[in-house]
Amino acid sequence: MTHASSPSARPLRVTRAQAPLSGSIRVPGDKSISHRALMFASLARGETHITGLLEGEDVLRTAAAMRALGAQVAQHAPGDWRVSGLGIGKLREPEDVLDMGNSGTAARLLSGILASHGMVSVMTGDASLRRRPMKRVMDPLAGTGATFMAREGGRLPMAIHGLADPKPLDYRLPVASAQVKSAVLLAGLNAQGQTRVEEPVATRDHTENMLRHFGAHVKVEETPQGGRVILLQGRPDLVARDVVVPGDPSSAAFPIVAALLVPGADITISTVGLNPLRTGLFITLQEMGAQLEVTNIRTEGGELVGDLHVRASSLKGVTVPADRAPSMIDEYPILAVAAAHAAGVSRFCGVEELRVKESDRLAATVALLENNGVKTAVEGDDLVVYGTGNAIPGGGVVQTHMDHRLAMSASVLGLVAQNPVEIDDTAFIDTSFPGYLQLMNSLGAGFAL
């Protein structure tokens, strides 16, 4: 894999934590829900009030794109946004190219919207996003009648000629992907008749939850093989509804693992999303012996939330089944750090989806650990991590490949490694977790900013 960093790279040298982490924090709003809130609010009639919106660069790109498509999208205070939508099928052709920055979620979901509107649009992104494959959404969305033109391998920039009267889709996902599922469902909103999506394994269902929240008719059926079929009735009358965005469990993963690994740590993270299809990491860490307690469970905006109390723990190796991967696909790099610190061997089964993230996250996670003295192996689609029993050597240089989750994972590894860890770039952390380094320092991490 070739090395890439941002034009204004922010390297970081992380040394072992000198004191226990302690305190109470709240992590930024859920990124997946934030993207969808802006998109659905733009497709609904009336004004939607969104609170807790993640204001990372990825989500701000979605806000700009929906504004370019004719919706009124405005920030009133930090995390407090109002969106005046135009209704299903009524977005307008953008005057310029839509730049989605680093966000694969935004690009793939928006493809479904653009394919089902009678207009021509062009999408691009930063150097990292332009390397990521879009063919996995282009192929099913072509069934609507929309046409796509992209670079070799289905890579951005991509031109979409959408249809005002798209055909409804009946699509079975070859591999579990919430992004592809959501793109198909978004295309189905403006199609006459029923859109059907079958997924081999249940993936995060924020799209289905938010469709219902705004008034769409969505039916979900379990399959005998353990998958799900989602049925959406086209041309619903989506009506503005307020949205409360919970804290992102994928963002909470980093302070959680840091608190588990740094001796004597004791922290609380409030109002974290507990969607059952997103909590695979929490379950896995508890299986490893984590003192991770969930309290004050409640429902906000159609999503389950709760507070997390985390204390330093002695972790042991674990085998994670492949069917858990969709519920924690973004958390494998930080779980790999926990496994590296644990006693014994861990095996993460069926993690092929990691190869098509912001970077080839599987190869990059292996490099992150190997460069810091941790033995790993990739066996088929499984990642094997040989735990060091609280003795990660460290001393390596981590190439993040413009991937925010790799940068944050490396920062946590540095807090417990025996020798300092050099991270080539932390600039991209802001795409998903603005203020991460400062928030960790409020707990006592001691990152040298």
Instruction: Encode pLDDT of 105-139 as tens digits.
Output: 999 999 999 999 999 999 999 998 999 889 999 99
**Does 2 reside within a domain?**
no
| Whether residue 201 is found in the same domain as residue 343 | no
Is the per-residue pLDDT at 361 higher than 60? yes
Is the per-residue pLDDT at 2 higher than 60? no
SS3 content of the chain, % helix, strand, coil (to 5): 35, 25, 40
| Whether residue 315 is found in the same domain as residue 419 | yes
CA-nearest of 116, 136, 139, 119 to 188 is 116
pTM of the model: 0.83
The answer to whether the annotation marks 330 as part of a ligand binding site is yes
Q: Of 224, 244, 264, which one is at a domain's C-terminal end?
A: 244
- What is the pLDDT averaged over residues 155-175? 97
The answer to whether the annotation marks 45 as part of a ligand binding site is no
The answer to whether residues 134 and 156 touch, using CB atoms and an 8 Å cutoff, is yes
Q: Is 330 a catalytic residue?
A: yes
- The pLDDT value recorded for residue 103 is 92
Cα-to-chain-centroid distance, residue 89: 27
Question: How far, CA to CA in Å, does 421 sit from each of 10, 368, 417, 438?
Answer: 14, 10, 8, 18
pLDDT, tens digit, 9 for 90 and up, residues 204-240? 899 999 999 999 999 999 999 889 999 999 999 999 9
Q: Which H or E run includes 348?
A: strand 345-348
Beta strand 376-379 with 382-386 is antiparallel
Beta strand 421-423 with 397-398 is parallel
The answer to whether the annotation marks 16 as part of a ligand binding site is no
φ and ψ of 249, to 5 deg: -60, -30
CATH number at residue 436: 3.65.10.10
Tokens 């989602």 locate to 230
Is the per-residue pLDDT at 4 higher than 50? no
Residues of the domain holding 277? 12-29+246-443
- The pLDDT value recorded for residue 7 is 56
Active-site hit among 330, 403, 424, 430: 330
| Whether residue 238 is found in the same domain as residue 301 | no
Count Cβ atoms within 10 A of the Cβ of residue 224 and give its class: 0-12 exposed, 13-18 middle, 19 or more buried.
exposed
Q: Of 214, 244, 274, which one is at a domain's C-terminal end?
A: 244
CA-nearest of 138, 106, 100 to 32 is 106
CA-nearest of 156, 75, 151, 170 to 123 is 156
| Whether residue 204 is found in the same domain as residue 258 | no
**DSSP alpha helices (H): ranges in 214-288?**
249-261, 280-287
**Does 422 reside within a domain?**
yes
**What span, in angstroms and rounded, lies between the C-alpha atoms of 303 and 300?**
5
| Whether residue 193 is found in the same domain as residue 287 | no
The answer to whether the annotation marks 405 as part of a ligand binding site is yes
**What span, in angstroms and rounded, lies between the C-alpha atoms of 441 and 449?**
9
| Whether residue 216 is found in the same domain as residue 277 | no
The answer to whether the annotation marks 228 as part of a ligand binding site is no
